[in-house]
Structure formats: C-alpha cells, structure tokens
Amino acid sequence: MPRAPAKAAPKPKPKAKAGPRARAKVRKISPAEQARVEEIFHRFLAETDDPRTELSYDSPYTLVVAVALSAQATDVQVNKATVKLFAAADTPQAMLALGEEGLIPYIASIGLFRTKAKNVIAAARIIIEQHGGEVPLTREALQALPGVGRKTASVVLNELRIEPAIAVDTHVFRLAHRLGLAFGKTPDQVEAELMALVPAPYLVRAHHWLILHGRYVCVARRPRCEDCLIADLCPSRGQAA
C-alpha cells in the first residue's frame, strides 16, 4: 500500500519587527548605576519640566516640514526660512499650490534645498491624496512620506507626545557617550541603548533634554563642565572629546 505523502512542515511565521527597546542589548546595570541614571534625568526634570524643540511650528504639518528641512541644517537657519514660508504656505494644500519652483526661494539658504523642495511638495501631495489633507501621526505612515526618515518621524512623534522616542543626532550621540549612557557605534545602536536605559517616567522628554544639553552645555570642542548641572555624575568631566 503506497504511503501517504508527508505533510510539508509549516512555514515559520515571520518575526515581528522589534522596537528600539527590544533590539537593545541587555546590559547589566548595577544599583549604583541605576541610581546615577535616575539622578541625571531627575536633575534635567528639575531644571526644565517640559522641554520642546526650538523649531518654530504651529501645527503637525508645519512641524513635519520644519523637521524635514532641518536635516544638515541648524534650527536657527530653518526658523529664518520658515517664518516667511509658513506665512505663505502652512497647509499641504497651500504648499502644493506653491510648487517646487515657488518653494525654492523660501528655503534656498538651507542645505540640500532642491532635494528638500522636491520632497516637501511630494509629501504634501501624498498627505492630500492619501490622508485627506491631515498629517498621519503613526510612525509607519510618517516614514512613508518623502523626506521623512526614522529620525524625523521620531522627533515629530515625540514632540507631539504621541510616542516616546529618542532621535539620535550628533548632540545626543556625543552626550550619550560622554555620560556613559550608551556605547553603540551607530545612531541606531545608541537609540536602542537609550530607549532601554532611560527610566520610563522620563522617556518622552529625554530626547529634548539630551539635545539641548549637548547643544548649549556639553558642546563638542570644549564642554562647559563648570556650568553643568550633572558634572558630578559624568565620567568624562574635564575631558575634551
């Protein structure tokens, strides 16, 4: 009697993509280190309880545009450009009507302005055609917009208090290493380490605390340790890096 054909082994289900906390390597933290990290963020909280971006915006749409324009540019440069731009076009509909050639004169002072103009107009079209003219406020939908990568989406979601996120720019990367909070060699690795380490009550504000402290106190060439509110908790105190 012929044997029945063997049943094919079931295909393994694809693993869900892990978030930064799940991707972070588990690092054993001593009670003393836990207390140090807690105290760092407690002091940040005591100094500024509601840190915010320095980019000028008045709606989720203008925030997305401002953050997208800020890549490889300073917030000061972007704000100088957007004060006039948003007076002329502060909605996807108005931006699309402006068009690339109409947008370029407003942002010509910002690096990569031609590519950014193309992306801003393409994103405006998608927002109108696929999202009814409203900025989609989920990570997946934001990252699907032209010119909006993971870092931009993280800044937007965190600034609007929708999702705790830590966008790792040069300031956050530098500060995380100097403070001994992260040791990763890439922004993604540092993000994962910080998301796993920062105590939950501080997580939604950690990005802004770190970026502002790195921008004004723990600067690149000569850290202002004498003005630092967490200098006694910093393993790099007095060292220029």
The catalytic residues are 151, 169
Can you say how many angstroms the Cα of residue 119 is from the centroid of all Cα atoms in its chain? 18
- For 102, counting Cβ atoms within 10 Å of its Cβ (0-12 exposed, 13-18 middle, 19+ buried), the class is middle
d(CA 177, CA 62): 32
Determine how many CB atoms are found less than 10 A away from the CB of residue 219: 15
Is residue 208 within 8 Å of 51, Cβ to Cβ? Answer: yes
Comparing CA positions, the residue from 227, 76, 241 lying closest to residue 173 is 241
Tokens for 217?
A: 């106190």
Q: 10 Å Cβ neighbour count for 83?
A: 11
Q: How many residues does the chain have?
A: 241
Q: What's the start-to-end Cα distance of the chain, in Å?
A: 78
CB 140 within 8 A of CB 197: no
